[in-house]
């Protein structure tokens, strides 16, 4: 966007003052959950598809440290997203 500065012919590039620097929050999403909403919350936080995150958890089950342990820890420490019910 361009604008004229006080009647002069000088043109400057005007940048929007809109705050695009919003912080992402790591929180459980209970609206799109299979178990606790951890995979949905991680997927949104990372910008990934939730199916990919769920598949990674399932594929990690046979590993020496099964995925269930980190999943349970995240389930306990991640806050639940606050939603407003419309009635």
Dump pLDDT digits (tens) for 71-81: 899 999 999 98
Residue 51 belongs to some domain of the structure: yes
Flag whether pLDDT at 17 surpasses 60.
no
User: Residue 50 domain-assigned?
Assistant: yes
Residue 38: inside a domain:
yes
Q: Please check the confidence at residue 52 and state whether its pLDDT lies above 70.
A: yes
The set of residues, in sequence order, having a beta carbon less than 8 Å from that of 12 and lying 6+ positions away, is 2, 3, 5
Question: Cβ distance 55 to 5 under 8 Å?
Answer: no
- pTM as predicted: 0.63
The confidence score (pLDDT) of residue 53 equals: 92
3 is a domain residue: no
**What's the total number of domains in the chain?**
1
Domain residues for the domain of 66 are 25-81
Q: Is the pLDDT of residue 62 over 70?
A: yes
Q: Is 8 part of any domain?
A: no
Is 1 a member of any domain?
A: no
* Lowest mean pLDDT segment, chosen from 44-48, 54-58, 80-84: 80-84
3-state helix, strand, coil in the chain (%, to 5): 35, 10, 55
Does residue 9 fall inside a structural domain? no
């Amino acid at each position: 966007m361009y604008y004229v500065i006080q009647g002069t012919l000088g043109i400057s590039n005007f940048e929007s003052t809109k705050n695009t620097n919003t912080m992402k929050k790591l929180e459980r999403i209970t609206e799109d959950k299979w178990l606790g909403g951890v995979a949905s919350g991680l997927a949104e936080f990372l910008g990934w598809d939730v199916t990919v995150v769920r598949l990674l958890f399932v594929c990690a089950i046979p590993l020496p440290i099964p995925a269930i342990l980190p999943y349970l820890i995240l389930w306990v420490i991640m806050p639940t997203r606050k939603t407003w019910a419309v009635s």
